[in-house]
Chains A and B, each alone.
Chain A
Amino acid sequence: MPQAYTPGLAVSDGVTVRKERKLPLPGDVMVAAGDEVSSDTVVARTELPGNAQLINIAGLLGVPPDELEARMRVRVGEEVAENTVLAETKGLLGLFRGQVRAPARGTLESVSTVTGQAILREPPTPLEVHAYIRGRIVEVIPREGVVVETHATFVQGIFGVGGETVGELVFITDEPSEPIRQAAIKPEHGGKVLVGGGRVEYGAIARAREVGAKAIIGGGIDDADLRTLLGYDLGVAITGTEPIGITVAVTEGFGDISMAQRTFELLRTRVGALASVNGATQIRAGVQRPEIVIPLESHHAERQTPASGVLEIGANVRVIREPHFGSVGVVAGLPVEPRRLETEARVRVASVRLSNGETIELPRANIELVETMSRD
């Protein structure tokens, strides 16, 4: 029989993290298997085809498309500088010539005698993929990229915005419940990854961006603040490319919510280390959560693997929906028969002993495992 599986977010003090670093188009891999890389090492490179400019030459010259060949001054495949005459009419006695010039540097890719249009391809844009985390190349995918492996402190958040960044980890609150306010952000936080416990306020994000901080991490965020930050109401949780100048990640959810004690304490042990942070979140097919990867000094540290991921009596869990949202506890019972909720829905429940001693029954769907790590 399939087992009940309630995935939680990873919070690990030492785990092997593998990252695929792939190009969007085939290109060149710049490193070899076994190479040690830092987060800013270029591991693969390609050229994205340049922007294609469609130029309606026949229209601009006022000639029928089928006469275009005779009017072209540049052949297909030829490179041209900006302002080069691409085509021109004979004019009257050599005067009043109509001309069409290249709007940019590029290569003439095609000329259509059907539509009268030409495609001018601008020079390709170089694209580089960095290692993003310090580690070792364990696999090369020819023409596509590599797999980087590291041994690291690894924390998954629940939601974030903004893409990959790297910076030194700095703490800006003393307690996991302390809100992250503007006043906590100092000029010396430029270039750093800032971690606090409670809800990240918009003022703090704005100030962090102002001083040039790379990322800010907290327990929760208000939807209203997120809207102010993005400038729009986020409809679907597919993030990571927002041009907001900073990466923001929260570990618990929306609202006034404290960072889990364990996450807070774990991150505090790594103050001063270089952290790779990605806010990208995608909650559809292929779930992606924001992450904080802080490579450890040694690859040979004792290796840990996540616990089984199976909901069982004694498992540490977190409540992920109202009421009791954010509370943590231990599974005390897993009744087989569905129970009737206040809503009258009959669902499978778990009995959870909360950290305050109270025991509650709630839908299994509304709890997640707080992942514990076991030694190999």
Chain B
Amino acid sequence: MPDSSASSDAPSLDAPARQKRPVPEKIRSILATDCGSTTTKAILIELDGDEYRLKVRGESPTTVEAPVEDVTAGVLNAVTEVEELAGRRLIRDGAIISPQTDDEGVDIYISTSSAGGGLQMMVAGVVRNMTAESAERAALGAGAIVMDVIASNDKRLPHERIEQIRRLRPDMILLSGGVDGGTTTHVVELAELIAAANPRPRLGISYELPVVYAGNKDARDLIQKQLEGKTALEVVDNLRPTLEREELMPARLKIQDQFLHHVMSHAPGYPKLMEWTDAPIMPTPGAVGYMMQTIASQRGIEILGVDIGGATTDVFSVFQGVFNRTVSANLGMSYSVSNVLAEAGLPNILRWIPFPVDERDLRNRIKNKMIRPTTIPQTLKELIIEQAIAREALRLALDQHKKLAVGLRGVQQQRTISDAFNQTSSHDTLVNLASLDLIVGSGGVLSHAPRRQQSALMMLDAFAPEWVTELAVDSIFMMPQLGVLAQVNEAAAMHVFDRDCLIRLGTSIAPTGSPEKSSVRVRGTLPGGNMLDGVVPGGELRVWQLGVGEEAQLEFVPEGTFDLGAGRGRPVSLTVTGGVVGLIVDTRGRPLHLPKDEAPRVAALQKWYQALDLYPSLSDQE
């Protein structure tokens, strides 16, 4: 069996699909679709002068399920909408016209997919917080949902692990374990477990389950002996060749490759869709992650991205140049809304609501949303409750992200052995809310909030960023399509991202320290020449208008226990970027605490919500 560890067989622009037709040197038009679990979204990007711009978008229900059972039907429906809106022909004889000739068709067609629940994986490693954790990071980074992590030291008995593998029926298993040249026994034991479980894949009973082995290279022959014939085994380089080194990229690329060739090719209509696309179909979160990394590296910033959906919440981050992605599989605003209640607990949701709510009524409302996930809040009270739940879902998703975002990127980096042993402790998470430069929020509850300041405050309350942080939302969640596009034409992807995708909300200035007897003085000149000189006492939120594209050179002087990065009480001078909300000075302190007693808590919420003009006539809701 060949060692396929190199990136040569990874999904790349040189993959067979891409070779069938050369991409024109000057790309005039790009059609991109994202086949989600429920909706297929299509966008048309065209060259306008020297810039690529989003022209129109369309959407249609995804058609993976019965009665249609062909993903391309939904794609064509969504593209038909684009065709009608753009006023030019894109489809002929039930297929997308490519390349563009005159005013017909597009030069490039690309797609992402999370239909059918996305890529669902199990990972296995020898030591839970070492190889198994590295394997988990590799799978998540490739865009998978990790259903379970099996480790030799996970305290489960062998038969319990076997039962779990059988029960979960993953799409793929990533097996790792052992450093190169080390003992082979434990990783072979894991292979024996997998062989004993003889797992059947989720999509059909007629094909073999893909298993990617990325463990000790000395164990390859033994692993092959155990798993070949029983599974579709692929071998790549060890993702933990030494204790101090983590090398995730070969495993990630192989996972995406297997996703395409095994999982997707068995999903209804995908073989046809794969023929249509000019670049390999990527798992949706994998594409978003790629986009995040591109932004962070191009601008040299630290970034936190979140996509809160109906079923899951994805968190992406780049800190210290290290990319991480986690998916909180059961934190979402519709299908999983009830699980947010179960995990956060009722008091944590109620703390964000500035009016009395009957517990029984709230529980029933949340369950009704779960069973009828497409409904939307019609009254202001329902909107406020939904945004309270969103704060908790986002907070929990970030907590989960912090626990896993502790490792190294899939390039060679050095760390000490003691670091390696301690990697899951909370103090060494890479997520640093003080050095964070930009938060990008997306997903219905953030992208479609009736007032943009609602999105800004949901993110401030949930993530509690410290010091200076820019806030933005993705207007229509087109980052998946832009992620694939970035692999074909990075400039086009970045043009569209900047001009059509990202809505800048503004900048948050949030000192660390206790709000008791503390304050922040703000001084400087706003665009237009207005002088600004004010004091924001501790425990408040204050907003100044600073529009999109505007900047202001301001001095912030923290007083009392407050610190804005230069030390307690030391002033900082900053160039602050505006947005549709503006400059937000948040003196509620970090860590962010809400008053425990009801009356002061409600008073504080009302004060904050009014400061941001968050809701219309909030007083009616008291």
Binding site for B on A (CB under 8 A): 1-2, 5, 24-26, 49, 51-54, 65, 109-110, 112, 114-117, 119, 121, 144, 158-159, 222-224, 226, 232-237, 253-255, 281, 283-286, 320-323, 325, 341-345, 347, 362-363, 365-366, 368
Residues of A within 8 A of B383 (CB): 343, 345
CB distance from B589 to the nearest CB of A (A): 30
Q: Closest 9 interchain pairs by CB?
A: A235-B339, A52-B196, A344-B450, A54-B158, A233-B342, A255-B364, A223-B363, A254-B364, A254-B367
CB distance from B146 to the nearest CB of A (A): 16
Interface residues of B in 341-372 (CB under 8 A from A): 341-343, 360-361, 363-372
**What is the CA–CA distance of A234 and B341 in the complex, to the nearest angstrom?**
10
Of B183-191, B252-260, B419-427, which binds chain A?
Answer: B183-191
A321 and B375: CB pair below 8 A?
A: yes
Are A119 and B60 also in contact (CB < 8 A) when A159-B371, A235-B338, A281-B371 are? no
Are A284 and B335 also in contact (CB < 8 A) when A52-B197, A223-B364, A363-B378 are? yes
**What is the CA–CA distance of A253 and B368 in the complex, to the nearest angstrom?**
6
Are A344 and B616 also in contact (CB < 8 A) when A144-B205, A235-B338, A235-B339 are? yes
Residues of A within 8 A of B374 (CB): 365
B311 and A2: CB pair below 8 A?
A: no
**17 A-B pairs with C-beta separation under 8 A:** A1-B81, A26-B205, A54-B162, A54-B193, A115-B188, A159-B371, A222-B363, A223-B367, A226-B367, A233-B341, A235-B338, A236-B330, A254-B368, A284-B37, A284-B335, A285-B115, A285-B116
CB distance from A119 to the nearest CB of B (A): 5
B451 at the interface (CB under 8 A from A): yes
Residue of B nearest to A368 (CB): B372
**What is the CA–CA distance of A323 and B380 in the complex, to the nearest angstrom?**
11
B228 at the interface (CB under 8 A from A): no
Q: Which of A52, A109, A233, A235 contacts B159 (CB 8 A)?
A: A52
A51 and B360: CB pair below 8 A?
A: no
Mark B156-179 against chain A: 1 for CB-CB distance below 8 A, else 0. Answer: 001100110000000000000000
**Chain A contact residues, majority secondary structure:** loop
B378 and A323: CB pair below 8 A?
A: yes
Residues of B within 8 A of A24 (CB): 200, 205
CB distance from A133 to the nearest CB of B (A): 18
CB distance from A131 to the nearest CB of B (A): 20
In the complex, besides A255-B368, A323-B378, A342-B379, 4 extra interface pairs with C-beta distance below 8 angstroms are A54-B162, A114-B222, A223-B364, A235-B338
B365 and A322: CB pair below 8 A?
A: yes
A343 and B159: CB pair below 8 A?
A: no
Interface residues of B in 187-243 (CB under 8 A from A): 188-189, 192-193, 195-198, 200, 205, 222
Mark B80-94 against chain A: 1 for CB-CB distance below 8 A, else 0. Answer: 110010000000000
**What is the CA–CA distance of A347 and B377 in the complex, to the nearest angstrom?**
11
Residues of A within 8 A of B37 (CB): 284-285
B181 at the interface (CB under 8 A from A): no
Residues of A within 8 A of B369 (CB): 321
CB distance from B125 to the nearest CB of A (A): 16
B336 at the interface (CB under 8 A from A): yes
B185 and A115: CB pair below 8 A?
A: yes
Residues of B within 8 A of A115 (CB): 185-186, 188-189, 192
Residues of A within 8 A of B448 (CB): 345
Residue of B nearest to A320 (CB): B372
Residue of A nearest to B369 (CB): A321
Residues of B within 8 A of A325 (CB): 368
Residue of B nearest to A1 (CB): B84
CB distance from A59 to the nearest CB of B (A): 11
**What is the CA–CA distance of A222 and B362 in the complex, to the nearest angstrom?**
11
Residues of B within 8 A of A112 (CB): 188, 192
Residue of A nearest to B59 (CB): A2
CB distance from A125 to the nearest CB of B (A): 12
CB distance from B230 to the nearest CB of A (A): 11
Residues of B within 8 A of A366 (CB): 375-376, 378
Residue of B nearest to A367 (CB): B375
Residue of A nearest to B382 (CB): A322
Residues of A within 8 A of B371 (CB): 158-159, 237, 253-254, 281, 283
Among B77, B335, B336, the most chain A Cβ lie within 10 Å of the Cβ of B335
**What is the CA–CA distance of A53 and B162 in the complex, to the nearest angstrom?**
9
Residues of A within 8 A of B338 (CB): 233-237
B65 at the interface (CB under 8 A from A): yes
**What is the CA–CA distance of A325 and B369 in the complex, to the nearest angstrom?**
12
CB distance from A149 to the nearest CB of B (A): 16
A321 and B372: CB pair below 8 A?
A: yes
Residues of B within 8 A of A114 (CB): 184-185, 188, 222
B520 at the interface (CB under 8 A from A): no
CB distance from B376 to the nearest CB of A (A): 5
**What is the CA–CA distance of A144 and B365 in the complex, to the nearest angstrom?**
41
Residues of A within 8 A of B343 (CB): 235
CB distance from A251 to the nearest CB of B (A): 11
Mark B92-108 against chain A: 1 for CB-CB distance below 8 A, else 0. Answer: 00000000000000000
B64 at the interface (CB under 8 A from A): yes
Residues of A within 8 A of B336 (CB): 235-236
B117 at the interface (CB under 8 A from A): yes
Residues of B within 8 A of A52 (CB): 158-159, 162, 196-197
Among B60, B188, B378, the most chain A Cβ lie within 10 Å of the Cβ of B378
